[in-house]
Structure 1
Amino acid sequence: MALKNLLLSIDTDRAAPARYDLAIQLAQVHEARLTGLFVRQMVISQGLPGGAGVGLNEQFRQAVAAQNAELENAERAAIDSFTEPARAAGIAFDHHIEDGVGAGSAVPYLVQYARTADLVILGKAESNGRNIAHDVVFGGGVPVIVVPPVEHDGIGQRVAIAWNGSREAARAVKDALPILERAASVTILCVNQLGPGQNAQPGEDLARALRSHGIDAAVDNVVRKGQSVGDAIVSRLSDIGADLLVMGAWGHSRLREFVLGGVTKRVLEQSAVPVLMSH
């Protein structure tokens, strides 16, 4: 599937413009439309209890109004930091603003918009103690790129694949094919952690399959050296100079919801490289 409709989360994080730059680069390379989504966090209050007195109520309303004005200024700055470079890059783009109140209110909107997108680009923001990407990748039915809050030289030229032969990893590779086909180098990272029925050399099978797409991928069998699987993957990304990691969003069911597995969670926490996840 081609990447023609990209969704970008816009927020007031100071590191967000670096994420916007990567999203704009992806839109240019894939000739895609980029839609920015900003969920505003307004302060809503009915005032103090009636017994507080007219003077205190008025002070309270003024404080709320001042806080909302600050939020509105931050909103305009955040949107401008997306629309101005997008316009300068000459890509097709638009943006939407939705109203939210409180932590986590962006998640339902992101999931809703994600369902008609080909790819979602997010930051490392958290809601209720977990990365927002968790909800979007499991609820939106679409691959997600999580961008760490650091400067990036580019994305999609030196791609690594975290591969264990699982269904989730296979889904991520298929979703990433439009990026893999344009990459200068692709490295398949295999950390020996086999499950029942999995090939002892799963990387070779994937490399052979990718060659049919014109992708010449190298297989790298990663030695853990006492590390966790997640830490071994993150360490190897730095060694090979990867600018994108493709991996399955492994998880398990808990009380009728999916939660990220330990490897996925660890990589998201530690990686300085953008991570494309699918489930």
Structure 2
Amino acid sequence: MSCQDILCVFEPTQAGLPPAFAQAVALAKAQQAHLTVVPVSVISRAPGSAISAALVSGMLKTVNDQVRAATNVSAQAAKEALALSGLTYDVNVHEGIMLDLGDWIAKAARSVDLTVVDRPSNAIEASELFFERALFSSGRPVLVASPEHMSEAVRKATLAWNGSAVAARALGEAIALFPSLKAVDVVVVNGEKSLANALPGTEIAQHLARHKIEVNLIEAPVVSGSIAATIDEVATRAKSDLIVMGGFGHSRLREFLLGGVTAEITALARLPVLFAH
């Protein structure tokens, strides 16, 4: 098994095609996978009151038209870039209000091997919504692209290991998605919490060795009180192609709030991060 069907979803910006697009293209080339690219227009609707709707409808139309135009520009740019890539691909535009986009991305992510999204920077932007719903509502893995590093082929990974079921699932997804994976650093961060009842790192290292994957078991002290910074430092120093970890978190009244380490590693990782939940 390998990654044969990749979805890349992003909200267009004036900065051009985002890191998620470049990362998705690189992985699709390495795997000879089909790539579906979807620039998304996040549109606004007038409030329910007829009076207030009349007051803002003209302004909203102008804003929405600008958003749709930017989306079409991104779609055209993606088509032009992909035309020279040698890949099989689709470029589709999608639009909706923020609340509806959550259900859409969850469903879209279920029918692919991997969804690639951009790094979210705050809890009210579309990239946070795409990440949160693709991860927690699709049942499929999600790769968060890094603006600092783009990995072409995945040969070495750093696994953030705490013995949890979601960490085990993330590892399984990485092995299945990337047959090119030859080496894994299994990182156990000392002092984050009691791991007395967790599956030891030595046992998961044995499992990887049976897959003919070179294993390096690392017990790392917490750097500056941050588990996420510790994982990032170890992975960057080892020149891994990506970080692999289980995604913890929850949605509360659709505010898209993530668990501490998940949110922190998403915000600061210098490498792409593969999450599974």
2:92 to 87, 93, 96: 96
Q: What CA distance in whole angstroms lies between the structure 1 residues aligned with 2:48 and 2:110?
A: 38
- What is the correspondence of 1:201-216 to structure 2 with a 5 Å cutoff? 202-216=200-214
1:182 aligns with 180
Q: Tell me what 2:106 maps to.
A: 111
Distance change in 2, residues 1:239/1:151 (3 Å):
closer
Structure-1 residue corresponding to 2:237: 239
- CA distance in 2: counterparts of 1:207 and 1:47, whole angstroms: 57
Larger Rg computed on CA atoms: 1
> What 5-or-longer segments of structure 2 have no aligned partner?
none
Unaligned residue ranges in structure 1 (runs of 5+): none
Amino acid corresponding to residue 78 of structure 1 in structure 2: S
Residue 83 in 1 paired to residue 84 in 2?
Answer: no
Matched with 2:140 is: 142
Q: Say which of 117, 126, 147 aligns to 1:122.
A: 117
Letter in 2 for 1:23: A
Alpha-carbon contact 1:47-1:61 (below 8 Å) kept: no
Q: Which residue of 2 aligns with 1:35?
A: 36
C-alpha distance in 2 between matches for 1:178 and 1:22: 19
Shift of the alpha carbon at 1:69? 3.4
The amino acid of 1:39's aligned partner reads: V
Deviation of the 1:116 alpha carbon: 1.0
- How large is the Cα RMSD of the aligned pairs? 3.3
Deviations 1:110-142 (A, max 9, x none): 111011111110112354479332222110110
Q: Which moved more, 1:73-82 or 1:107-116?
A: 73-82
% same residue: 26
Instruction: Look up the SS of the partner of 1:114 in the other structure.
Output: helix
More strand by share: 1
Task: Tell me whether 1:71 sits opposite 2:67 in the alignment.
Answer: yes
Distance 2:64 2:257 in 1: 34
Given that residues 144 and 272 in structure 2 are in contact (C-alpha distance below 8 angstroms), is that contact kept between their aligned partners in structure 1? yes
CA 1:111–1:182: 2 relative to 1, 3 Å: same
CA shift in 2, pair 1:100/1:230, >3 Å: same
Task: Compute the TM-score of the two structures, normalised by the length of structure 2.
Answer: 0.83
Displacement of 1:81: 2.9
With over 3 angstroms needed to count, the CA separation of the structure-2 counterparts of 1:46 and 1:226, relative to structure 1, is closer
Deviates more, 1:248-257 or 1:122-131: 248-257
Structure 1 Cα separation of the partners of residues 251 and 195 of structure 2: 18
